[in-house]
Structure 1
Amino acid sequence: MNRTRRHLALVLAAAAITGASGCAAAASDEPVIVVTTNILGDVVRNVVGEEAEVRVLMQPNADPHSFEISAQDGALMRQADLIVTNGLGLEEGLQQHIDSARSEDVPLLVAGELIEPLAYAEGDSEGAPDPHFWTDPALMVDVVDELEERVLGIDGIDADAIGASTAGYRSELTELDAAMTEAFAAIPTDRRALVTNHHVFGYLAERYDFRIIGAVIPGGTTLASPSASDLRDLVAAIEEAGVTAIFAESSQPDRLVQVLAAGADVDVDVVELFTESLTNPGEGADTYLAMMRTNTERISAGLSP
């Protein structure tokens, strides 16, 4: 599809979905980049600046494993100048739309294909690639580097503006990584033990020298359910490791985590983190950088003596 026809279709699609999930209705002649998750959406906006319209499909406080989009949103994806997705099986409800856009030759950047993925070590997802790479900001730098190149390939983009915005954001990511390294280094080694709702911190643990004790849902997706034996095994591991805090994602109810904490024969706090989704402004994690800083502070506080 040529550029004129593609933008005409975008105008029609946008007009049909006023108020739809994260997608502005106003249409223009500027390039349009569609992003699946709100974490990547924030990263893309920092790189793109004012050079393109960025439309994010996933609303704040949503679960990337289960959120879905409308047929109109799917049509919008097929008309974009670029689609940015997480990949590695994260957007489980969007795969058919991603495949459809790919079949129509819409340019696609799959962030998970830019890194060396870790594999899950247990549960239903054992051996499968872990899609939660954003918990390591150094890997997000790799995504930003490729994103810059792909955006520069879109007609009408100002290369100098993209170069400046990318360099600035890359520096912020590097500063974030340094701050996280310093904060986590202050936690005694024997207390760097993580228990969460489901397995989401593999990359953070790899970079900052944490041990993964386990997860309430022993797998990589929130759509699975733990068995009674899974919970018993995790309680035993928590007691043996002397875990002092269990971390629950803000996008998921923490009822099971509370039950697990009550069942462990140790004094365990339940601490809310923002790991799967950004929040609305004022809720603690409205940008990727804010999310990571908040999580660093809460993890440090929860595990420090």
Structure 2
Amino acid sequence: MRGGQKRRLGLTAVRLAALVAGTLVGCAPAADDRPLVVVSTNILGDVVGELVGDEAEVVTLMKPDADPHSFEISAQEAARLRSADLVVSNGLGLEEGLQQHLDAAAVDGVETFVAGESIDVLDYREGDAAGMPDSHFWTDPARMVDVVDALQEPLGALPGVDRDAVDAATASYRSELEALDAEMTASFSAIPDDRRALVTNHHVFGYLAERYDFEVVGAVIPGGTTLAAPSASDLADLVDAIEETDVPTIFAESSSPDRLVQALASEADVHIDVVELFTESLTAPDGGAPDYLTMMRVNTERITSGLSS
């Protein structure tokens, strides 16, 4: 091959390499320069997303249909947690599998917001967790209003965020929570007084019960976490309570297997239905409870129907 041809081929190769490199750069995603908010649970992740919108990048660690008591994260997710502008968690002992990472981020100086510190906390009344704080405050939308109000300031103060946009979104979402509370009050008022009793996988309805005047008869798992296990005497006591109160329905959480609830129903010498509720986790978009407001409305309809029949 002559020298001129070699030079032309060499120049062509250089131009081709440059074109390929430029194409790859053009296809690469642009760096996201928005502030980063990392949220522990998907329920709070949905709420934070409603308040901050596109003003910040919101990363939710808990996947749909997961158990908040036991889910874990990857090393990459833990690194993002420590690099966040704000970390939002539930607190009150809920994120048992994640707490070490939340603590590490706080030690590293990451700004944190713990939702449980902004509400009037209830304690568990029975079981192994009696006297300990109940972490399931989101079953009461009025307490979620308190969380939303407390989130407004740290979200609005994030670098580069339009505070007015956050304030407007917060006011709008607060109105939606207040409307939800009114809907739940009206729906539950149709349940007869002698049917206002709740039995579920574990103690998750303390806040809902206080807000809407229910009695929590008991739970298959007698503590505040799904990581506990019931004893034979626990199941026997619960069967007695069900028979005494004559509840027509018991409720199984979507994030926990309902085999224990089914077994309990078979032990009670009465016909009793088992109805699934979405209590501790949101679902995928097609799973029935893709956001907090929908989750609460679906649960309200199912509780009302189950206890009114």
TM-score, reference length from structure 2: 0.90
In 2: Cα distance, 1:67 partner to 1:59 partner: 8
Pick from 115, 118, 121: which aligns with 2:119? 115
| Corresponding residue of 1:212 | 216
**3-state secondary structure, aligned to 1:224:** coil
| Unaligned ranges ≥5, structure 1 | 1-24
What amino acid does structure 2 have at the position aligned with 1:106? V
In 1: Cα distance, 2:135 partner to 2:143 partner: 12
Instruction: Give the deviation of 1:160 after TM superposition.
Output: 1.4
Alignment map for 1:1-80 (pairs within 5 Å) = 27-80=31-84
| Unaligned ranges ≥5, structure 2 | 1-28
In 2: Cα distance, 1:26 partner to 1:91 partner: 33
Task: Let me know the Cα RMSD of the aligned residues.
Answer: 1.0
| Corresponding residue of 1:86 | 90
Q: 1:26 to 1:126 in 2, by over 3 A?
A: farther
Runs of 4+ in 1 over 2 A off after TM superposition: none
What amino acid does structure 1 have at the position aligned with 2:170? T
- Write out per-residue CA displacement over residues 259-288 of structure 1, whole angstroms, 9 at most, x where no aligned residue: 100111222100000000000012110000
Instruction: Give the deviation of 1:163 after TM superposition.
Output: 1.3
Tell whether the 8 Å contact from 2:42 to 2:64 is kept in structure 1 after alignment: yes
In 1: Cα distance, 2:268 partner to 2:176 partner: 40
| Corresponding residue of 1:100 | 104
Q: % of aligned pairs identical?
A: 69
**3-state secondary structure, aligned to 2:295:** helix
Tell whether the 8 Å contact from 2:199 to 2:250 is kept in structure 1 after alignment: yes
Pick from 123, 129, 147: which aligns with 1:125? 129
Instruction: Give the deviation of 1:88 after TM superposition.
Output: 0.2
| Corresponding residue of 2:269 | 265
Instruction: Give the deviation of 1:75 after TM superposition.
Output: 1.0
In 2: Cα distance, 1:236 partner to 1:132 partner: 26
Moved more, 221-230 or 113-122: 113-122
| Corresponding residue of 2:182 | 178
Instruction: Give the deviation of 1:71 after TM superposition.
Output: 1.6
Tell whether the 8 Å contact from 2:42 to 2:60 is kept in structure 1 after alignment: yes
- Write out per-residue CA displacement over residues 142-186 of structure 1, whole angstroms, 9 at most, x where no aligned residue: 111111111111111101111111111111000000000000011
2:204 equivalent to 1:200: yes
In 2: Cα distance, 1:203 partner to 1:215 partner: 15
Tell whether the 8 Å contact from 2:203 to 2:223 is kept in structure 1 after alignment: yes
In 2: Cα distance, 1:146 partner to 1:82 partner: 14
Pick from 288, 296, 307: which aligns with 1:284? 288
- Write out per-residue CA displacement over residues 51-80 of structure 1, whole angstroms, 9 at most, x where no aligned residue: 101000000000000000012111111110
What amino acid does structure 1 have at the position aligned with 2:255? S
2:259 equivalent to 1:255: yes
Q: How many residues align?
A: 281
2:250 equivalent to 1:246: yes
Instruction: Give the deviation of 1:190 after TM superposition.
Output: 1.0
Larger CA Rg, structure 1 vs 2 = 2
In 1: Cα distance, 2:247 partner to 2:270 partner: 8
Structure with greater proportional helix content: 2
In 2: Cα distance, 1:105 partner to 1:187 partner: 49
What amino acid does structure 1 have at the position aligned with 2:183? A
Pick from 179, 187, 195: which aligns with 1:191? 195
TM-score, reference length from structure 1: 0.91
**3-state secondary structure, aligned to 2:55:** coil
In 2: Cα distance, 1:252 partner to 1:26 partner: 39
Instruction: Give the deviation of 1:26 after TM superposition.
Output: 7.4
Alignment map for 1:154-169 (pairs within 5 Å) = 154-169=158-173
Q: 1:100 to 1:211 in 2, by over 3 A?
A: same
**3-state secondary structure, aligned to 1:50:** helix
| Corresponding residue of 2:3 | none
2:195 equivalent to 1:222: no
Tell whether the 8 Å contact from 2:255 to 2:281 is kept in structure 1 after alignment: yes
Tell whether the 8 Å contact from 2:157 to 2:163 is kept in structure 1 after alignment: no
What amino acid does structure 2 have at the position aligned with 1:144? V
| Corresponding residue of 1:10 | none
Tell whether the 8 Å contact from 2:199 to 2:251 is kept in structure 1 after alignment: yes
